[in-house]
Amino acid sequence: MILNYALDFAFLCFGLGLAMNLYRVFRAPGVPDRILALDTMVINVLALIVLYGVRTGSGVNFEAALLFAMTGFVSTVAYCKFVLRGDIIE
Amino acid sequence: MDQIVEYFLAALLVIGGVFAIVGSFGLLKLPTTMQRLHAPTKATTIGVGSALISSMLYFWFFEGTLSWHELMITLFLFLTAPITANFIAKAQLHLAVKPEDLPPSGVGTAWATFDPEVESVSPTLIRDRAPD
């Protein structure tokens, strides 16, 4: 079944991307790079959750993915806000 | 029919994976921060959107349940990716470019993050760093 091979390939790609982002979180020239790497990690993990849902054939994971997307966006904005203003809620 | 749909979904998954890995690799390889900003916010968003659409079509065709969650997540990501990029670019400008080197804001006042009138809390992370 070709879909299984494609799923394996997608898992591999998103996992490798996650590993690269993790390296970038630890080795970065500045704070914005780390924030960007964290944001990309959130997106990659989101894709992994959804692909896992396809692999197991269950629809429970989508709520988790949606919540994860929202949390990732809010945390990125909070980090940037902290860098810009020194405070998050003024 | 099932065969065609399966090939289509496989193609979507492969395209999504390639876009995602290109985005993450660009985050490692591009030379400056402003260039690095482009790779994840565009390529990775397209890649994950492709994977999500593929998942939605899979559940529609093979499980018989059409779920709108994936479409919602895709729309949410496509809406928030530019906002994230804008915020990170502002943070990078704030940290790496001196206030006198910034272009004029166009509204008569200085940039909000440097304007002492607007600024109520002093930023803690400013450091003297040359722009990339």
The single-letter DSSP state of residue A57 is T
C-alpha A15/C-alpha A9 separation (Å) is: 10
Does the beta-carbon distance from B27 to A70 stay under 8 Å? no
Closest partner residue to A13 (CB to CB) among B18, B63, B124 is B18
Nearest to A6 among B13, B92, B121 (CB): B13
For A12-57, how does the pLDDT look when each residue is reduced to its tens digit (9 = 90+)?
Answer: 999 999 999 999 999 888 889 999 999 999 999 999 999 999 898 8
Inter-chain residue contact A17 with B23, CB threshold 8 Å: yes
Higher pLDDT residue, B118 or A86? A86
For every residue of chain B, DSSP letters joined together read: -HHHHHHHHHHHHHHHHHHHHHHHHHHHH-SSHHHHTHIIIIIIHHHHHHHHHHHHHHIIIII----SHHHHHHHHHHHHHHHHHHHHHHHHHHHHS-GGGSPP-SSSS--TTT-TTT--S--S--------
Give yes or no for a contact between A65 and B73, defined as CB atoms under 8 angstroms apart. yes
pLDDT digits (tens, 9 = 90+) for B38-92: 888 999 999 999 999 999 999 898 888 888 888 899 999 999 999 999 999 988 8
Task: Please tell me which residue, A71 or A85, carries the higher pLDDT value.
Answer: A71
- Cβ contacts (< 8 Å) between A54 and chain B: which residues? 54-55, 58-59
**Assigned token pair, B63:** 């499980």
pLDDT digits (tens, 9 = 90+) for B7-40: 999 999 999 999 999 999 999 999 988 889 988 8
pTM of the model: 0.84
B26 touching chain A per CB within 8 A: no
Which amino acid, A86? Answer: G
Amino acid at A74: V
Residue A1 DSSP symbol: -
Q: What is the ipTM of this complex?
A: 0.88
Q: How far is A85 from chain B (nearest CA, A)?
A: 5
Amino acid B118: pLDDT: 52
Q: Residues of B numbered 71-110 whose beta carbons fall under 8 angstroms of chain A's beta carbons: which are they?
A: 72-73, 76-77, 80, 83-84, 87-92, 94-96
Chain B interface mutation, best of A4, A14, A24, highest count of B Cβ atoms under 10 Å: A14
Q: Do A77 and B84 touch (CB under 8 A)?
A: yes
CB nearest A9 (choices: B14, B89, B122): B14
